[in-house]
Amino acid sequence: MRNRREFIAQLSAGASALVGASAMAADLPMVAETDAQAKALGYVADAAKADKAKFPKFAAGQQCGNCALYQGKAGLASGPCPLFAGKQVAAKGWCSAYAKKA
């Protein structure tokens, strides 16, 4: 009996932590295209505006939302990216560090 109670308590605590992490991600500011890191990586909030001359590896369909580095949930307009610590990127954005999700 005790093990089941401990399991349920731990499960509840884990679920609360996940909800808290999601809420914290939603509170993060958006990265600005003028941010030094964003400029260095060619980040744009709209992938259609990527500088194709400066970043010839860009291909249509590449977006932050389908990048391996993107940590936002599918379907959301934005989410965190480890390249821009403490900030969110647009799911429809793009940068030169794009790596296709496996």
Q: Is residue 60's pLDDT more than 60?
A: yes
Q: What is the pTM of this model?
A: 0.74
- What domains, with CATH codes, occur in the chain? 29-90 (4.10.490.10)
Which of the pair, 80 or 20, is modelled with greater confidence?
80
Determine the Cα angle at 59 with ends 54 and 61, to 5°. 135
| Residue 78: both structure tokens together | 């934005």
**Each residue's pLDDT tens digit, 65-83:** 999 999 999 999 999 999 9
Cβ contacts of 37 within 8 Å, gap of 6 or more: 31, 43, 83, 84
85 vs 28, 35, 71, 82, 97, CA distance in Å? 10, 12, 11, 5, 14
What's the pLDDT score for residue 40?
96
Confidence of residue 20 (pLDDT cuts 50, 70, 90): very low
Q: Is residue 4's pLDDT more than 60?
A: no
Count of CA atoms in the C-beta half-sphere (13 A) of 96: 14
